[in-house]
A = this chain, B = another copy of it.
């Protein structure tokens, strides 16, 4: 019998999953061009040594769920290949979305405030959620619901675009966990977000 089966279990505080961001930005903090374009990142990735993915696959494998914003979902669709094969994905959107047929098994569209989503994920027994997308990351950070940030900095200044970070109701202290400097010019910073 699991916690969820017990009568009155809804009143029991279920630990929420660890919510972790894994994102690449330009040095000036953009995750995409103003129109959502990822061509600059694709171009940079194309110069990586064969087999190098800066820890992306391991990070993805460690997550029970990928939760991403609608804009990021559409940007990834625009790449023409789906990098999350087999991984359960929730697209956070207030609008209904028509999903490509091939994705209808693994992708669902959900809406809700970060706290509601986190509570639902906890109730589902998820232990680790991969959070993606600028607006989504910003909403969860503002709600105090991001535990970890892995930021890969691509050596370019885009000068315009969609930012990863945004306004916060209060500042958040970070605890550095790891820094990696790749020979091809990417730098990866990993931080824990200090609980408020």
The interface of chain A, by Cβ under 8 A from chain B, is 26-29, 40, 141-142, 149, 151, 153, 155-160, 164-176, 179, 181, 185, 187, 189, 191, 193
Contact = CB atoms under 8 A, between A and B. Distances in A.
A27 B174 CA distance: 9
A15 to B, nearest CB: 24
A176 B172 contact: no
B159 A168 contact: yes
A155 B191 contact: yes
| Tally of this chain's copies | 2
Nearest to A187: B179
Contacts of A141: 157, 159
Contacts of A185: 174-176
A179 B181 contact: yes
Given A26-B171, A179-B179, 4 more contacts: A155-B173, A157-B174, A157-B193, A159-B165
Nearest to A165: B28
Given A27-B165, A28-B165, A189 B157 contact: no
Contacts of A158: 168, 171
A79 B173 CA distance: 22
Given A27-B189, A29-B29, A40-B171, A176 B155 contact: yes
Contact of A165 (B29, B153, B174): B29
Contacts of A29: 28-29, 165
Contact of A189 (B40, B160, B187): B187
Nearest to A28: B165
A48 to B, nearest CB: 14
